[in-house]
Amino acid sequence: MNQTYGIAAVSAAVVGTLVTGSAGLRISRTTSDFYVASRTVPPYLNAMAISGEYLSAASFLGIAGLVAAQGVEMLWFPVGYAAGYLVLLVFVAAPLRRSGAYTLPDFADARLESRAARRVAGVLVVGVGWLYLLPQLQGAGLTLGLVTGAPRWFGALLVAVVVTPAVAAGGMRGITFVQAFQYCLKVTALLVPAVFLLLAWHGDPRPAEALDEPPTFRRHTQVTVETTVRLRVETPLRAVATGAVDGRRHDGDRLSLDPGVHEVRAGTTLRFPAGTPVPEREPGDGRRAGASSWAAPLSGGRDDHPLYTTYGLIFATFLGTMGLPHVLVRFYTNPDGRAARHTTVIVLALVGGFYLLPPLYGLLGRIYAPDLLLTGTTDAAVLVLPERLVGGTLGDLLGALIAAGACAAFLSTASGLVLSVAGVLGQDLLPSPGVRHFRPATLLAVAVPVTVSVAAGELPVAHAVGLAFAVAASSFCPLLLLGIWWRGLTAPGAIAGLLTGGGSALTAVALTIAGPVTDGWPHTLLAWPAVWSVPLGFLTMILVSLATRDRIPPGTEAAMARLHLPEPPVPPNPPAGTRPPRSDHPMTIRRPGAGPRT
Amino acid sequence: MNGPALLAAAAPVFAAGLAAGHLLARRGGRDGTHRGGPVERATFRTLHTASAAAPPLRAGLTQDTARKAVRRLRPLFGTAALALTAEDRLLAWDGPGRHHADTALGSVRRLLESGRTQTFAVRCPDPDCSVRRGAAAPLTVDGRVLGALVVLGAGESVPAARATEEVARWVSVQLELAELDRTRTGLIEAEIRALRAQISPHFVYNSLAAIASFVRTDPERARDLLLEFADFTRYSFRRHGDFTTLAEELRCVEQFLELVRARFGQRLRVTLQIAPEVLPVAVPFLCLQPLVENAVKHGLEEGVARGRIGITAQDEGATARIVVEDDGVGMEPDRLRRILRGEDGPAAGVGLRNVDERLRQVYGDDHGLVIETGVGAGTRVTIRIPKYRPGVHSAPPGSPRPVTGPASAAAGPPSPRRR
């Protein structure tokens, strides 16, 4: 990738964000456009902002990578990410807005009148936020590494350096406009190159490659392995190696790999002639990678129990969206419940439209960038495709555009998450709450995930996001659904449910990341916890609430009425700002107790 | 790679250790450090028992609080049973012999007639019943008997009757404090009610005078202004809800400025910067207009040729920051401090003080007005409003509700800063 273009594009994305941020305030200097300045955000704009904040590096880079590596069954990721908003729309959006809560701890407080429940929800928000920040930082490292050649940790650090001051200085000023701009940037950055890529694919002599075949190198390809990998070779193949293969040093000599598993040391460069089938990468823990069953779902993919993992993914993403702190915060901007619902419908359309694009990149990535399967950095598929498929200056420009979009993806989600996490840390968890604690809270909110991300090494971006969704689904989904739709919820019940549901999911995630269990059902259960942890959360919440029926908060009836009664359709006095200009209707201004006057 | 696993395993162990240490430390504090002579120990124990019974009583005399209080008070007497009654019914009974409740209530009736402590004998066919004698002492609040404390035991003794009376007096004091709490809460609510919605009579007068000046020269404008005035007053006089949204407050400010403009014309320039994210924030009713009115007053009315007013509302994560500034004559910070303490006579700066007190009562002392001013340096007033606060809703469904925000009684004056 051309570094100059890439750096210019990333800088342009950052500058564009900052400019939109500072220009986003509505300023009026005359009283006549006073109303323009004080008009609430229309649903379409807010929906764009929510989508902009939601479409993270996992959506932008991760999905295409997963689809390229593991096949069509990964399409559940984009489906789930979008469908989560359907659940949000039907069950949560309007009542949540009417509750007046700004964050999830606020909701727990408003509904259950309990400081303890508030605090537990706060801890979980921070946990989910940090878990979600990890893949954003990794996405940043990946993108910036490809664009500038910098090491992986540099990207995470750069995000921290950009986001922390912006958030600590009081957030970006016109945050809604910024996020809406980011959404447009992300869609453009995938859509425009996609058109060129499709044209190039059509122009290619062999566009209709059988997708279920193991991919082959289309031309003479040179691959440098950054970390030590084990390759499974199905048919004998020839390559030229520089480095260590199977423990033997090679220095630019020919090499023939027999069927079986071969270890390639970090730093080794392999050169394959055109037409060679791509060796599969063994995931290191003995499981089979699913490259050969790419186009058939549930055909023994990356895990031993594909049906179970698919349900795990569905549970986590469908129910987890409502528990993401940075998404809910944006709903507060809606003036009322009806607008919140309207916004969610538009978000569904915007997000759904966006998710049509990454699978396309995944497909093309499998055909045109198969070496990524070998090195395991499939998350880079989106970024390298224009160079591979279009090439030349145009390819460089398109690559730069995608880099800018990826930059927007991790910046917008990261800043939204840091803002939410810092807000909860400063308000609920750090001792002696107050405005002054926001800045140290911001530092803490960034420092922890950056440290973990630099220290923990690599996680597939989309998978890590899936874990964050699982924790959100097991803790906040029961809290929101039962809190909104069941009068019997008590504070002890909610706390117990949050702790068992969210706690067990968090433990499973921690064990998955740390990796003491690598095989069989235990591993599958831990890696996809939502199937069992969501029902566990619900069940605990319901049973403990039933057991503590005498602790139903006294304000439950009033809170339920507030959550479910629609706001009056028109304000009792028509706000002057909605009146048409006066010259248009000088004689018919509605007054109470007076008909139209002539 | 094993680091996180180790960490995950170590965390619960660490937490358990912390909890155990904490518990041990508390035990140690209870038993270990307060060892003195037997008299001291007895005194300490008595005081500890009494103070343990105080919190429930501070919530008033109800079935629930009486049950908790009786359980904690019984160790003071060491007698068989202890009961708290209202005027005509039993509230709580701790200990055996509950079947004698009617006898006890009979003595409470006699007590209500005489207003004095009663001792009485209990006849019981059950030879094992440990309740033979009893004493009932009145619980009085403001000279009115609310109920009685009844002590029942095996034998009669004058000290027991006197102890009953003393404890009853102590309970009465707690109930009086509870009454006081209730009164104070009511007072705060009444205060907020009184504080809200005070538009200044000067403004009404000035507006009408300004409108009058247009009636002949520009009747259309006069009519518009009158409608504006009507909208403004309707908003100001509305009776439902103590909170509104920032968007509505801004509308009110706009109407207000339109009327002010009728008076000052081009001398007034207003700059508005609003982040649309904060428009739905619930704010106390009429908290912005007095600030703008103040800015107009200091920016224009005191003989300045041209005035500029800036209103800014920004998103700050969990809070919204609203700033009203003018480039007018400013004020001596000391004088401002006196005004905010209410020491400068009733006429001066009622609006600012009013807003300040309401903000403090609803959101706590951290959220009062922050005023930066100096003579000739203009004035900048900043408020920070949390986006969410329990009990604060901009449009409560149904009938008007009392304010349920955390009422911080100790509302000191804000600290004006010199610019």
Question: Of the candidates A40, A427, A582, which has its C-beta nearest B224's C-beta?
Answer: A582
The reply to whether B243 falls in a domain is yes
Counting beta carbons within 10 angstroms of the beta carbon of residue A151, is it exposed (0 to 12), middle (13 to 18) or buried (19 or more)?
A: exposed
Is pLDDT of B173 > 60? Answer: yes
Q: What are the two backbone dihedrals, phi and then psi, of residue A134, each rounded to the nearest 5 degrees? A: -50, -55
Closest CA to A401 of A575, A177, A244, A195: A195
How sure is the predictor about B192, in pLDDT bands with cuts at 50, 70 and 90?
A: low
List C-alpha distances in Å: A579 to A338, A570, A586, A592, B111. Answer: 21, 13, 11, 15, 70
Cβ of B277 and A455 within 8 Å? no
Q: Which residue type, as a one-letter code, is found at position A589?
A: I
Cβ of A176 and B277 within 8 Å? yes
Domain shared by B127 and B150, yes or no: yes
Looking at residue B303, its pLDDT comes to: 65
Alpha carbons B209 and B133: distance in angstroms, whole number: 81
Cβ of B275 and A110 within 8 Å? no
Domain shared by B252 and B148, yes or no: no
Evaluate whether A99 touches A562 at the Cβ level (below 8 Å): yes
Q: How many CA atoms lie within 13 Å of B261's alpha carbon, on the beta-carbon side?
A: 20
Looking at residue B157, its pLDDT comes to: 62
The reply to whether B145 falls in a domain is yes
Domain shared by B203 and B182, yes or no: no
Q: Which chain B positions have a beta carbon within 8 Å of A173's beta carbon? A: 275, 314-315
Looking at residue B411, its pLDDT comes to: 36
Q: Per-residue b/e over A439-464, b at no fewer than 16 CB within 10 Å?
A: bebbbbbbebbbebbbebeebbbbbb
The reply to whether B317 falls in a domain is yes
The pair of three-digit structure tokens given for residue A583, joined into one six-digit string? 């010259």
Q: Is A560 on the interface with B (CB under 8 A)?
A: no
Domain shared by B109 and B214, yes or no: no
Is pLDDT of B403 > 50? Answer: no
Mean pLDDT of chain B: 77
> Quick check: pTM over 0.95?
no
Alpha carbons A59 and A78: distance in angstroms, whole number: 7
The nearest CA of chain B is from the CA of A22 a distance in Å of 11
The C-alpha R_g of chain B, in whole angstroms, comes to 32
Looking at residue A449, its pLDDT comes to: 87
Per-residue 3-state assignment (H helix, E strand, C coil) for B200-257: CHHHHHHHHHHHHHHHHHCHHHHHHHHHHHHHHHHHHHCCCCCEEEHHHHHHHHHHHH
Domain shared by B119 and B218, yes or no: no
Looking at residue A494, its pLDDT comes to: 94
The nearest CA of chain A is from the CA of B390 a distance in Å of 6
Evaluate whether A3 touches A148 at the Cβ level (below 8 Å): yes
Mean local confidence (pLDDT), B252-268: 84
Q: Is A37 on the interface with B (CB under 8 A)?
A: yes
Looking at residue A485, its pLDDT comes to: 93
B277 to chain A: closest CA residue: A333
Is pLDDT of B378 > 70? Answer: yes
E strand or H helix at B118: strand B118-121
Question: Of the candidates B5, B230, B280, which has its C-beta nearest A332's C-beta?
Answer: B280
Q: Which chain B positions have a beta carbon within 8 Å of A516's beta carbon? A: 2, 5
List C-alpha distances in Å: A139 to A61, A132, A198. Answer: 7, 11, 25
Alpha carbons B408 and A594: distance in angstroms, whole number: 44
Q: At what angle do helices B63-77 and B158-195 cross, to 10 degrees?
A: 150
Interval B280-304: pLDDT, tens = 899 988 888 888 888 888 777 666 6
Evaluate whether B268 touches B235 at the Cβ level (below 8 Å): no
Looking at residue A391, its pLDDT comes to: 77
Q: Which of B1, B6, B248, B272 should one mutate to test binding to chain A, selecting the residue with the greatest count of A CBs within 10 A? A: B272
What residues have CB less than 8 Å from A267, skipping those under 6 apart?
A224, A225, A226, A243
Cβ of A41 and B1 within 8 Å? no
The reply to whether B31 falls in a domain is no
The ipTM estimated for the assembled molecules is 0.79
Q: Per-residue b/e over B170-183, b at no fewer than 16 CB within 10 Å?
A: bbbebbeebeeeee
Provide the Cα torsion A179, A180, A183, A189; round to 10°: -100
Q: Is A26 on the interface with B (CB under 8 A)?
A: yes
Q: State how far Cα B233 lies from the chain centre.
A: 29
The reply to whether B26 falls in a domain is no
Domain shared by B111 and B237, yes or no: no
Q: State how far Cα A439 lies from the chain centre.
A: 25
Q: Which of A25, A175, A579 should one mutate to test binding to chain B, selecting the residue with the greatest count of B CBs within 10 A? A: A25
The nearest CA of chain B is from the CA of A200 a distance in Å of 43
Domain shared by B48 and B114, yes or no: yes
Q: How many CA atoms lie within 13 Å of B304's alpha carbon, on the beta-carbon side?
A: 24
What is the full DSSP assignment across B119-180?
EEE---S-TT----EEEEEEEEETTEEEEEEEEEESS--HHHHHHHHHHHHHHHHHHHHHHH
Domain containing B145 — which CATH number? Answer: 3.30.450.40
Q: Which residue type, as a one-letter code, is found at position A64?
A: A
Alpha carbons B384 and B214: distance in angstroms, whole number: 39
Q: What does DSSP assign to residue B280?
A: T
Alpha carbons A115 and B403: distance in angstroms, whole number: 19
Alpha carbons B114 and B117: distance in angstroms, whole number: 8
Domain shared by B144 and B55, yes or no: yes
Evaluate whether A62 touches A140 at the Cβ level (below 8 Å): no
Cβ of A27 and B271 within 8 Å? yes
Evaluate whether B271 touches B284 at the Cβ level (below 8 Å): no
Interval B25-34: pLDDT, tens = 455 444 444 5
Angle at B19 between CA B18 and CA B25, to 5 degrees: 90
Q: Which of B142, B173, B191 is the last residue of a domain?
A: B191
The pair of three-digit structure tokens given for residue A447, joined into one six-digit string? 């420092």
SS3 A511: helix
Q: Which of B191, B209, B231 is the last residue of a domain?
A: B191
The reply to whether B7 falls in a domain is no
How many distinct structural domains can be found in chain B?
A: 2
Cβ of A422 and B317 within 8 Å? yes
The pair of three-digit structure tokens given for residue A371, joined into one six-digit string? 């070496």
Q: Which of A20, A32, A102, A583 should one mutate to test binding to chain B, selecting the residue with the greatest count of B CBs within 10 A? A: A102
* Number of other residues whose CB lies within 10 A of the CB of residue A123: 20
Is pLDDT of B408 > 50? Answer: no
Alpha carbons A582 and B392: distance in angstroms, whole number: 35
B255 to chain A: closest CA residue: A576
Domain shared by B185 and B223, yes or no: no
Looking at residue B274, its pLDDT comes to: 83
Domain shared by B183 and B217, yes or no: no
Domain shared by B151 and B263, yes or no: no
Cβ of A31 and B269 within 8 Å? no
Cβ of B316 and A576 within 8 Å? no
The reply to whether B9 falls in a domain is no
Q: Which chain A positions have a beta carbon within 8 Å of B4's beta carbon? A: 456, 510, 513-514
Looking at residue B300, its pLDDT comes to: 73
Domain shared by B159 and B231, yes or no: no
SS3 A298: coil
SS3 B331: coil
Element counts in chain A: helices (H) and strands (E): 25, 8
Alpha carbons A484 and B388: distance in angstroms, whole number: 18
Q: What are the two backbone dihedrals, phi and then psi, of residue B274, each rounded to the nearest 5 degrees? A: -125, 125
Domains and CATH numbers, chain A: 3-22+41-203+295-557 (1.20.1730.10), 221-277 (no CATH)
A112 to chain B: closest CA residue: B390
What residues have CB less than 8 Å from A333, skipping those under 6 apart?
A40, A41, A46, A49, A176, B276, B277, B279, B280
Alpha carbons A98 and A562: distance in angstroms, whole number: 6
Evaluate whether B380 touches B373 at the Cβ level (below 8 Å): yes
Cβ of B390 and A40 within 8 Å? no
Cβ of A514 and B5 within 8 Å? yes
Q: Is A379 on the interface with B (CB under 8 A)?
A: no
E strand or H helix at A179: helix A175-203
B259 to chain A: closest CA residue: A31
Looking at residue B347, its pLDDT comes to: 52
Q: Which chain B positions have a beta carbon within 8 Å of A171's beta carbon? A: 315-317
Counting beta carbons within 10 angstroms of the beta carbon of residue A137, is it exposed (0 to 12), middle (13 to 18) or buried (19 or more)?
A: buried
Counting beta carbons within 10 angstroms of the beta carbon of residue B154, is it exposed (0 to 12), middle (13 to 18) or buried (19 or more)?
A: exposed
Q: Which of B143, B160, B191 is the last residue of a domain?
A: B191
The pair of three-digit structure tokens given for residue B306, joined into one six-digit string? 């041209």
More confident residue, A186 or B72: A186
Which residue ranges in chain A fall short of pLDDT 70?
Answer: 1-2, 21-39, 169-173, 205-214, 281-304, 431-437, 456-463, 515-519, 568-598
Cβ of A514 and B1 within 8 Å? yes
B256 to chain A: closest CA residue: A31
Owning domain of residue B336:
196-418
Looking at residue B294, its pLDDT comes to: 85
The reply to whether B18 falls in a domain is no
